[in-house]
Every structure is written in structure tokens, then in C-alpha cells.
């Protein structure tokens, strides 16, 4: 596959643009997908694919796990107060130290429960701080209970094992993420005894007793084992969660790899078990799933695409939302090239080919216009060419993300802003006038101009300068930029580019009819 090869998924994520936006994303267009498995390492590809999906919802899942940990931990920690009573009765140390060591983690746990329930949008730093508070404070309090007993041998030492096991089983993090926390809790036991030996002569004197060492190891080895088990168990839970998320988060769609990312979401290549084929799945950014306007816009885009059945428009198979509120829709995945890449590689097209391809695009727009839908961002990057048969190229019109309906709520498409790509925006749209099918006719006329000449008539300067020139100037006929273009084609293009929308073809169907008539007259 050549470097300018694209899938429908890559092109489908072109974002709405204001008058000062860059018209397209070179980085996105430069990401060629692969049509087969990655031979450089299936394990690495699978891991990256799964971790990319896990990262999407991990923060919310982590918040829920922390909340469950705090809810379970507070009553269990409170129940262990019976050990404090026994310790005081045996003269283990000042009762108030044990009372503080018991009460402090309870207060931290109750605070964590309240914070995690009230604030569902906590950042990862805040969540990690709560994790540190829950387990760090508990570990310090256990060490305090050990230290006040004034001996290297303490029945409280194995309690650290329970804390380590709880960390691994309840939080279930990747082993790299948990390593520092688990290591700190595991090594804190001998560290606490070491500090006590420096401060308390009676503790230091015990270091010369071999029996003390052997007994300490008997108590401490389970702590080391618990640390190792905590890492292994936590990582196993993490991997299981990854597999479940991969298999269930999008139902029957098994995500293979991400091929594009934008402000509204991501495009993934996915396998549909029922269809036994790859499809393109567009995922809305989770943060936008809480935005009613963004969700309405996403649903409107899906609904409009689903209503359009023309073969020259990308097909939508399905849409829905995950259990955690991530919206998605599935569409056909095509091995195709966008018109921008073809023109950059081959230059201007022969009139016969340009007219044939433009006719297909006009027919696709004709169906959209008949249903009251205006695309609003017709440009070469949104026209894909598929070699359906070796002898014929097939056009696919994509990206209805900023399309408008006659009865739609215009706030969904950025009221007060110019949407589209400078150079292809009709004059009346620039001035804030009514957006009609004639605006798409202007844009497709500009696409045909570029196909015939290899250049845009207004391609110099900033986006704002291009908009200004579009309002003030009329482009020269295509034949002035390239020889061999028939006068009938000149007339057709210039009618599409008329500044007055009433002077253009009314919609895509009228333009397609005229294109077919011109092709027949020219014998092409």
C-alpha cells in the first residue's frame, strides 16, 4: 500500500474549522493504515491496542475502585480495634498512640468516600493522592503500633501483609504503576525497626540476639511474599479488566487499532464478528459524552448518515454507547485514496475523468439535498476514490460531521462561526447568509476546478485572506490555467462558482444532470 493510501476511517475524522483554522491535518493524512496483521510483533500490537482502550476509561474505573476500597476498608480497619484492646491489656504501649493510629485511617477513609462520591471528575493526580492517603496513612499507623512495642518481634508485622494484599486485589493496577507503592510498604517494616534501633537502646540491644533475627524473619517473610503476590495479583486483575473491556465495551466490535484521532473522538479499525469483516468505528471522546450538545451533534451525524443510502456515500452500520457512556458508530472501512493525495501525486486530471468522478459526487450530494441535508465541507480530502473494479474508480463522499439540516438546531454546528474549509466556502456562507444546497454546489465546483487545473484559484495567503478574495474576486475559467478544456466544461464550472447562489445549479441533482448531459455531448 502506498504512503498516500487512506482508509475511510482516517478521512472520516476531519474536524469542523473556523475561518482561521488550517484547512486539513497533514499529520492525519500521512498516517497510512495497514491492511493486514503487523508482522513486527502481534503481541506488541495487541498490547498497544488494549492499553489504548483501557486508558480511555481507566480514570473513571480507578475512581470506582478507590471508592469500593474505602467503603470496604473503613469497617474492616475499625473491626481490628479489638487488637488494640488486647495490646493495651498486655502493656504494649501508650493507649492513646494506638487510639490515634486506629482513628486516623478511619477519618481518611471516610473523607475519601465523600470526595469520590461528590466529585466524579477528579483528575488522576487527585485520585493518586487519595490512593496514597488510604494506604500510606494505614501503613504509617501500622508501623507506629509496631514501634511502640519496643521490640523487633511484633505480632502486628503480618498485618502489613493484609494491607499489601488489599492494594493488589482491590485496585488491580499495572505492576509498573504499583511497584513503588508496594515496595515502600514492604520495606517500611525493616526501616521502622532500623529507626527504632537508632532511637531506643533497648531495641538496638536485640540485634545481638540470633533468636530475635530468626523470629523477625518468620514474621517478615510473609510480608515479602504478600508484596510479590500483590504485584502479581494486581497485574492479573488489570489484564483481565483489559480483556473484558476489549471484548465487551463495544459489544460485537473487537477493536484492532486506532487509525486517527481528533477533537471530537477517535477512529478505530475494528472487526465485526457477525459480519466477519473489518469496519471503521468512530468513538466520541468520553469527556464529550457528558455534554448534551456534543451528544446531540454526534447522534445527528449518525442519523443523517444512516438515512443516506446512496452508493457514493459511506455506509453506517450501527451506533450506540458503552456502559460507561462512550458513544460510537460503525461504518464501512474502505481501502481508498482521497482526492487530495491523488492530485498531489498525479497533478491535474483529464477532463473526462474529472467529469466522471464529479458526477458521482454530485449524485451523492443530490440524495443528501433531497433529504434536506447540506454537507457544508465538500473538498478533495472528503472525496475518496475506491477501485471497486480495475476498470472503474468509485467515489465515496465522507464526513458529514458539520452538515446542516433545514430544520436543525444551528447551535449544534457552531452558530456565529464560519464552518468549512477556506477556498471551498461559498460567499453567502462567509457573510453569514442562509446555507442552502447551492453552497455545496459551489464547493463541488471548486473541487472540479482543482481536478481540471491541478491548482486552487484562491490558494495564496492566510485563511482569512482566502475568504476575502472569495468574496471579492471571480476565478478565471479553468481553460485559462490549462489548455484542452472544452468551453462547455468552462461554462459549467463558472456557473457552479457564481457568487450569487441563485445563479448556480440549485442542488446536487441538477448539477449531476448537467454533468451527464455535458459528458454525453462531449462523448465522454
Neighbours of 46 (CB within 10 A): 15
Q: Give me the helix-helix angle, 42-79 and 81-89, nearest 10°.
A: 50
- The residues annotated as belonging to the active site are 377
Residues 6+ away with beta carbon under 8 Å from 522: 351, 352, 355, 486, 488, 489
**For residue 253, what are the β-bridge partners?**
272
Phi then psi for residue 299, to 5 deg, are: -65, -35
Distance in angstroms (rounded) separating the CA atoms of residues 373 and 367 = 9
Of 448, 414, 468, 416, the C-alpha closest to 15 is 414
Cβ burial of 376 (10 Å; 0-12, 13-18, 19+) is: buried
Over 257-326, what HEC string results? Answer: EEEEECCCEEEEEEEECCCCEEEEEEEECHHHHHCHHHHHHHHHHHHHHHHCCCCCECCEEEEEECCCCC
Phi then psi for residue 395, to 5 deg, are: -90, 140
Contact 372, 435 (CB under 8 A): no
CA 125 to chain centre: 20
DSSP string, 482-512: STT--HHHHHHHHHHT-SSGGGS-SSHHHHH
How far is it between the farthest Cα atoms of the chain? 109
Contact 375, 400 (CB under 8 A): yes
Distance in angstroms (rounded) separating the CA atoms of residues 112 and 172 = 18
For residues 265, 271, 274, 276, the Cα torsion angle rounded to the nearest 10 degrees is 140
- Number of helical (H) and strand (E) elements in the chain, helices listed first: 18, 11
Distance in angstroms (rounded) separating the CA atoms of residues 240 and 172 = 9
Q: How far is CA 223 from CA 144, 212, 482, in A?
A: 17, 17, 81
Say whether 25 sits in a helix, a strand or coil.
coil
Give me 79's grid cell. 473491626
Distance in angstroms (rounded) separating the CA atoms of residues 99 and 112 = 20
Amino acid at each position: 500500500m502506498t504512503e498516500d493510501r487512506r482508509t475511510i476511517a482516517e478521512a472520516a475524522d476531519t474536524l469542523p474549522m473556523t475561518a482561521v483554522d488550517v484547512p486539513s491535518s497533514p499529520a492525519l493524512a500521512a498516517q497510512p493504515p495497514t491492511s493486514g496483521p503487523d508482522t513486527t510483533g502481534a503481541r506488541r500490537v495487541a498490547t498497544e491496542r488494549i492499553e489504548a482502550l483501557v486508558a480511555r476509561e481507566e480514570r473513571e474505573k480507578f475512581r470506582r475502585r478507590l471508592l469500593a476500597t474505602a467503603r470496604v476498608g473503613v469497617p474492616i480497619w475499625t473491626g481490628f480495634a479489638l487488637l488494640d484492646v488486647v495490646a493495651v491489656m498486655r502493656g504494649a504501649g501508650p493507649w492513646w498512640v494506638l487510639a490515634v493510629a486506629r482513628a486516623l485511617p478511619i477519618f481518611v477513609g471516610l473523607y475519601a468516600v465523600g470526595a469520590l462520591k461528590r466529585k466524579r471528575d477528579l483528575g488522576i493526580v487527585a485520585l493518586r493522592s487519595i490512593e496514597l492517603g488510604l494506604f500510606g496513612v494505614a501503613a504509617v499507623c501500622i508501623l507506629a503500633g509496631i514501634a511502640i512495642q519496643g521490640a523487633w518481634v511484633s505480632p502486628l508485622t503480618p498485618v502489613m501483609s493484609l494491607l499489601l494484599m488489599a492494594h493488589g486485589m482491590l485496585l488491580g493496577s499495572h505492576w509498573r504503576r504499583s511497584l513503588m507503592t508496594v515496595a515502600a510498604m514492604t520495606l517500611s517494616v525493616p526501616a521502622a525497626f532500623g529507626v527504632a534501633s537508632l532511637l531506643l537502646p533497648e531495641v538496638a540491644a536485640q540485634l545481638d540476639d540470633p533468636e530475635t533475627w530468626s523470629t523477625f524473619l518468620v514474621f517478615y517473610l510473609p510480608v515479602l511474599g504478600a508484596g510479590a503476590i500483590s504485584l502479581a495479583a494486581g497485574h492479573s486483575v488489570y489484564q483481565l479488566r483489559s480483556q473484558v473491556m476489549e471484548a465487551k465495551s463495544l459489544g460485537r466490535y473487537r477493536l484492532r487499532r486506532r487509525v486517527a484521532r481528533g477533537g471530537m473522538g477517535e477512529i478505530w479499525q475494528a472487526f465485526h464478528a457477525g459480519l466477519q469483516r473489518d469496519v471503521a468505528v468512530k468513538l466520541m471522546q468520553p469527556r464529550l459524552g457528558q455534554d448534551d450538545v456534543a451528544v446531540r451533534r454526534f447522534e445527528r451525524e449518525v442519523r443523517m448518515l444512516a438515512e443516506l443510502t446512496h452508493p457514493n456515500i459511506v455506509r453506517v452500520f450501527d451506533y450506540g454507547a458503552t456502559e460507561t457512556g462512550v458513544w460510537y458508530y460503525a461504518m464501512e472501512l474502505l481501502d481508498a485514496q482521497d482526492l487530495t493525495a491523488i492530485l498531489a501525486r498525479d497533478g491535474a486530471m483529464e477532463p473526462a475523468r474529472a467529469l466522471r468522478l464529479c458526477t458521482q459526487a454530485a449524485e451523492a450530494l443530490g440524495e443528501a439535498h433531497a433529504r434536506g441535508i447540506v454537507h457544508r465541507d465538500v473538498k478533495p480530502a472528503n472525496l475518496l476514490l475506491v477501485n471497486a473494479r480495475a476498470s472503474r474508480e468509485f467515489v465515496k463522499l465522507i464526513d458529514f460531521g458539520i452538515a446542516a439540516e433545514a430544520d436543525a438546531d444551528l447551535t449544534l454546528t457552531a452558530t456565529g462561526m464560519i464552518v468549512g474549509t477556506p477556498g471551498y466556502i461559498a460567499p453567502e456562507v462567509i457573510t453569514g447568509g442562509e446555507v442552502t444546497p447551492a453552497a455545496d454546489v459551489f464547493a463541488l465546483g471548486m473541487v472540479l476546478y482543482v481536478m481540471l487545473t491541478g491548482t486552487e484559484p484562491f490558494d495564496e495567503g492566510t485563511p482569512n485572506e482566502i475568504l476575502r478574495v472569495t468574496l471579492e474576486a471571480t476565478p478565471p475559467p479553468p481553460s485559462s490555467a490549462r489548455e484542452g478544456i472544452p468551453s462547455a466544461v468552462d461554462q459549467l464550472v463558472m456557473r457552479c462558482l457564481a457568487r450569487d447562489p441563485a445563479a448556480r445549479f440549485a442542488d446536487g441533482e441538477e448539477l449531476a444532470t448537467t454533468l451527464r448531459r455535458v459528458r454525453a455531448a462531449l462523448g465522454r
